[in-house]
Amino acid sequence: MVTFGITPSRFTLPATSASLDRVTDFLCTVPLFRTLDRTAVRRFAEVTREQRFAKGAVIVREGDPGDALFVVRSGEVKVVLIGDDGREVILNVLGVGQHVGELALIDNQPRSAHVVATAPCSLLVLRRPDFRRQVEANPHVAWELMTELSKRLRQADSTIGSLVLLDVPGRVAKVLLEHAAPDASGTLVRHLTHQTIAQMIGASRETVSRAMSEFQSKGLIAVHRRLVTIVDRAALEARTRPRG
């Protein structure tokens, strides 16, 4: 649950040559900057500011001015909508190297959702004017930004489709597959509680728990110390296909 009374533990770290090198190293691993040479990436690093937040801190509120891009350097955040009745709908959970706020870099409109720290985290902040100046000098970043936005749009279309066409177990299977490591291990890249999954797919926690138990009993997944591993990917993928 989002608690708006929480005061974020945040501060801007001073830039030093060593810290700039570390930020540059990190940005080189972020897909948004992967087409640039190191010199160009360092120019972006020079205009970033690092901010830290405690678990539960509200980083961005829906309706805030859209004036910056946030890149997760450590920890994890969730992007959520809050209903008038206080109910949360989780749009996304983002980990290291992922970013949020890219729409603000284009249209300068207010934030469309809340962003909340689900663990102590460190974010790199790129203000819109600074980002725009750097993009004008490095048009490749604009192309990568459009690519990322296309991915988000496709993901949104897929999510809408699953809400309409899939039952709850099918939606749970889809979330597990989306958050599994791309390699053969099948381990989820981040811990997702049953409550979090429920808020992602518009279901109750109890229904999600039943689906997870079903997947375990059928050998589709394994759970050890709260760590979920996909055992039978093909069977889980089959569960995400609409049933006639």
What digits encode the pLDDT tens for the residues 65-96?
888 999 999 999 999 988 777 788 898 889 99
User: What is the residue extent of each domain of the chain?
Assistant: 17-159, 166-239
68 token code pair: 């910056």
Task: Tell me yes or no: is domain 166-239 CATH 1.10.10.10.
Answer: yes
Q: Contact at 8 Å (CB) between 119 and 75? A: yes
Which CATH topology does 17-159 take? Jelly Rolls (2.60.120)
Query: Half-sphere exposure of residue 26, counting CA atoms within 13 Å on the CB side?
Result: 22
Give the chain's radius of gyration (CA, Å).
19
pLDDT above 80 (res 98):
yes
Q: pLDDT tens, 37-51?
A: 899 899 999 999 999
Q: Do domains 17-159 and 166-239 have the same CATH topology?
A: no
pTM here is 0.74
Q: What is the pLDDT of residue 18?
A: 66
